[in-house]
Structures are given as C-alpha cells and as structure tokens.
Amino acid sequence: MFCSGCGQALAPGQPVCAQCGRPVAPAVPPVPGLQFQLESYAGKVRALSVVWFIYAAYSVLVGFAGLAFMHAFINNRFGNWGHSPWADGPMPPMWFGPAIFHFVWIALVVRAVLALVTAWGLYERTQWGRILAIIVAILSLIKFPFGTALGIWTLVVLLGYQNTTLYEQLTWSPQPGPNR
C-alpha cells in the first residue's frame, strides 16, 4: 500500500504516512454478493452468445429457403397455382433478376456474419463484442419476430449502468474452462 499524497510505501495498519503526515485511507470492504452477481451475469452473457450463434444459423437457413422460393416464383415454376409478377406484362430488364439475387445474397451473408461475430465477441467477453452486440441488436429489431425478441433481450442484458459495470468486470476476470 502507498500514500496517496507522496507515494511513500506504507506498512500494513499504519494510520498516517511517516513522510508527509497524510492520513491513510481506510480499506474499502468488498461488495457483498458481487461474485454471485458476476457469475449470474456471466451466465446470461453466455446464454445470449449461444442464442446469437443459433440466430446466425437460423438466418442462413431461412435465407436459403427464401432465395429458393424467390427463384422458383420468378421463374414461374409453380405451374397454374402461382403466377410470376411478369407473366402477363412486360418483362423486366435481363439484369434485374440477377441483381435482386445478388443483393439478397449479400444481405443474407452480412446479417449472418454480423450475428456470428456478435456471438463470438460476447462469448469471449470482449468490449468490442458488447458494442457490436448493441449495434446489431438495434438493427435486428426490424426482423420480426425472432430478431426483435433477440434484439430486445440483448439490449436488456447489455445496457444500463449496472450491466455495463458487470460486463466490464467480466472482461477483466478470467473465464472458467479447460483452456483458461
């Protein structure tokens, strides 16, 4: 322990600094239940990261199904049941169909990658992971119903003074596990 005024080393239990005469600040007692709160919050963050991993996989699967349906619909593969939007009218330019597919494909990949990186950042308890999770959660709010639910849950778990403080404590404490 050192004096807050002059930096002189102090002996344990010494009430006053021998060099400058400044009183020694009393030791701050540990916060009761902090370890329990940290462990509980770590479990919430771990569950949140697992759900982000699942959401990334879900986004890819639903995206592929949607792309297959869109491709079949545009190419009029439903027979008499379905009609493509251009069955009775003028055809769109030849570049229009591939442009839509490329745009949807890029949006699908970006959303899945953002969800995976968010999940990884939360799993590793990084500060950038928390910031990215908040941003991606806000963007996911428009993806009803699963994106909305996950976005709200993420914002509830990560925002607020107490949760911010607990997350900062998590980034400094080692994670339990075989490799750590």
Average pLDDT rounded to a whole number, residues 6-31: 79
| Token pair for 160 | 């607020």
Q: Which domain, by its residues, includes 88?
A: 35-172
Q: Identify whether 178 is part of a domain.
A: no
Q: Which residue has the higher pLDDT, 42 or 99?
A: 42
**61 in Cβ contact with 45 (< 8 Å):** no
pLDDT in tens, 53-84: 999 999 999 988 988 887 777 666 555 544 55
Q: Identify whether 177 is part of a domain.
A: no
- The DSSP annotation for 119-145 comes to HHHHHTT-HHHHHHHHHHHHHHTTSTT
Handedness of CA 108, 111, 117, 122 (dihedral sign): negative
What is the percent of the chain where pLDDT is above 90? 44
87 falls in which pLDDT band (50, 70, 90)? low
What pLDDT is stored for residue 41 in this prediction?
94
Q: Identify whether 180 is part of a domain.
A: no
What pLDDT is stored for residue 147 in this prediction?
93
pLDDT in tens, 127-170: 999 999 999 999 999 999 999 999 999 999 999 988 998 998 88
Q: Identify whether 168 is part of a domain.
A: yes
Q: Are residues 79 and 18 in the same domain?
A: no
Domain tally, the chain = 2
